[in-house]
């Protein structure tokens, strides 16, 4: 049964590119912003992932709702202290199946989508992919 489902998923998603599935209006935050600002943006936009932008506008890191919870518990003061700097990203022209495989391998639930200059142009999440799979099943 798993093999059949994987076949269906692969067949359905194989022709889709990340740009077809990504959220293009995903919120971001400046690197110098506060943890409070990050929490507010996440709540206002109902998101769990927030790409962090460097001063020149390229991707500097990512902060998650889990990072915010840890920051509160440990009394961290700045995004710099809690954000992940080694960010796994996706390219807009890569197959959705490749992005999904990377998320599964790394046990992460979203990837910032970046252009050639490392500027964030969207976000692809496992939730968005699950929604697509639900439509095909």
**Which one is predicted more confidently, 8 or 135?**
135
**Where in the sequence is the domain holding 57, given as residue range(s)?**
2-136
Distance (Å, rounded) from C-alpha 44 to C-alpha 71? 19
Q: Which of 8-12, 26-30, 64-68, 117-121 is predicted least confidently?
A: 8-12
Number of domains in the chain: 1
58-95 pLDDT per residue, tens: 999 999 999 999 998 988 888 989 999 999 999 999 99
DSSP state, 136? H
The full DSSP string for 62-115 is EEEHHHHHHHHHHT--BHHHHSBSS---B-TTSBHHHHHHHHHHHT-SEEEEE-
98-137 pLDDT per residue, tens: 999 999 999 999 999 999 999 999 999 988 888 877 766 5
* Domain CATH number, residue 11: 3.10.580.10
- Residue 49 pLDDT grade (very low, low, confident, very high; cuts 50, 70, 90): very high
């Amino acid at each position: 049964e798993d093999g059949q489902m994987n076949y269906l998923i692969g067949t359905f998603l194989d022709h889709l590119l990340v740009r077809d599935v990504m959220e293009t209006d995903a919120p971001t935050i400046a690197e110098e912003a506060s943890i409070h600002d990050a929490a507010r943006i996440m709540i206002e936009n109902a998101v769990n992932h927030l790409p962090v932008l460097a001063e020149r506008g390229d991707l500097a890191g990512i902060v998650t709702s889990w990072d915010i919870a840890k920051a509160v518990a440990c009394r961290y003061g700045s995004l710099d202290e809690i954000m992940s700097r080694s960010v796994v990203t996706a390219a807009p022209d890569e197959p959705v199946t490749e992005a999904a495989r990377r998320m599964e391998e790394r046990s992460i639930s979203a990837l910032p989508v970046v252009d050639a200059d490392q500027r964030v142009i969207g976000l692809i999440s496992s939730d968005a992919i699950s929604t697509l799979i639900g439509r095909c099943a």
